[in-house]
């Protein structure tokens, strides 16, 4: 009975000590997380006091050692650039999560991103071409076409080319926020339709009909600033790597509307006292300002 009593008392003491350790551990970890949250809250409070111009270039960056650092995204050191790329690496790993967070941030302040609706009505595309054996790309036909073209220009002979209808009374609507699949057999006019909508149809083809961008005709709207046709035959410089090619394109394109969007986001969030998501905030600031903006976009695309 004495041994049983000692075992029972020993078990009671172990349970008591384990409960003390568990409570102490919970308090320890909760205190640590509270300290980190308090530190981050202080950092954000300091950022909120900055003017909009400075706030758009300042972000809270988590360093590899766990330290929270207030940095200027336009003037980053080597270690800060490395920490920044590590912080935003998740963007490429979980692109859907990034887009969801970005949409939530924009929707919270009531910003509507620009969209484009394309309508085409009774679109016709015609071409003049030789038919039959004359249309074959032989050396004899090539010289004959050149000579006949000169004679036609001087009105010495009649034009033997025939009109071929590529698109005939095509109508449709391309809605924003949608992906449109265009199907058709070879020679159906898919490429001609896309070139016409992008405003890059060759001058040798004659087009009629209406193409409207957000209610504006092609004479009032510049489609090349909003649409592009990417050929299935890619042309690249053989001396450049994939990263260098994408980085060169990113530098040529500039920042577009990202900086204006960032400034408007910062202004509205300050007015409504909204704290943005740290990962989205530092990504947008890094992609819109600073020397590393092209590198940030390049890493995102390569991911």
pLDDT digit string, tens, across residues 142-194: 877 788 778 777 777 777 777 888 899 999 999 988 888 999 898 888 999 99
Task: Note the pTM of the prediction, 2 decimals.
Answer: 0.63
pLDDT at 250 over 90: no
By residue count, the chain amounts to: 303
DSSP 107: H
3-state secondary structure of 11: helix
Mean pLDDT score, 246-263: 79
User: Is the pLDDT higher at 65 or at 19?
Assistant: 65
User: Residues 130, 145: contact at Cβ < 8 Å?
Assistant: yes
Q: At 207, phi and psi to the nearest 5?
A: -120, 140
Q: How confident is the model at residue 15 (pLDDT cuts 50, 70, 90)?
A: very low
Q: Residue 127: beta bridge partners?
A: 164
Residue 109: is it exposed, middle or buried by C-beta count within 10 angstroms (0-12/13-18/19+)?
Answer: middle
Closest CA relative to residue 107, chosen from 285, 276, 298: 276
- Condensed to tens digits (0 to 9), the pLDDT of residues 94-128 reads 778 888 888 888 888 888 888 899 999 999 999 88
CB 57 within 8 A of CB 72: yes
Q: What are the beta bridge partners of residue 263?
A: none
- Structural domain boundaries in the chain: 31-115+237-302, 118-225
Q: In angstroms, how far is CA 299 from the centroid of its own chain?
A: 12
């Amino acid at each position: 009975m004495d041994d049983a009593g000692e075992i029972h008392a020993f078990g009671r003491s172990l349970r008591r000590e384990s409960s003390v350790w568990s409570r102490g551990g919970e308090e320890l970890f909760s205190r640590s997380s509270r300290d980190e949250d308090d530190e981050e809250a202080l950092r954000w409070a300091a950022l909120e006091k900055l003017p909009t111009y400075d706030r758009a270039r300042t972000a809270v960056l988590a360093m590899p050692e766990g330290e929270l650092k207030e940095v200027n995204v336009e003037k980053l050191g080597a270690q800060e650039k490395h920490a920044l790329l590590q912080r935003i690496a998740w963007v490429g790993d979980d692109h859907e999560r990034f887009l969801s967070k970005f949409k939530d941030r924009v929707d919270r302040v009531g910003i509507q991103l620009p969209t484009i609706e394309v309508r085409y009505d009774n679109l016709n595309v015609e071409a003049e071409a030789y038919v039959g054996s004359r249309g074959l790309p032989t050396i004899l036909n090539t010289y004959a076409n050149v000579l006949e073209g000169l004679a036609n220009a001087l009105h010495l002979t009649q034009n033997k080319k025939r009109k071929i209808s590529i698109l005939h009374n095509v109508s449709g609507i391309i809605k924003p926020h949608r992906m449109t699949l265009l199907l058709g057999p070879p020679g159906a006019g898919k490429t001609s339709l896309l070139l016409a909508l992008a405003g890059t149809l060759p001058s040798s083809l004659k087009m009629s009909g209406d193409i409207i961008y957000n209610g504006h005709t092609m004479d009032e709207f510049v489609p090349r600033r909003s649409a592009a046709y990417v050929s299935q035959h890619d042309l690249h410089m053989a001396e450049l790597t994939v990263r260098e090619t994408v980085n060169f394109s990113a530098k040529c394109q500039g920042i577009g509307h990202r900086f204006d969007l960032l400034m408007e986001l910062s202004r509205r969030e300050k007015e409504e006292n909204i704290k943005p998501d740290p990962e989205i905030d530092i990504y947008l600031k890094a992609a819109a300002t600073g020397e590393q903006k092209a590198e940030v976009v390049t890493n995102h695309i390569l991911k």
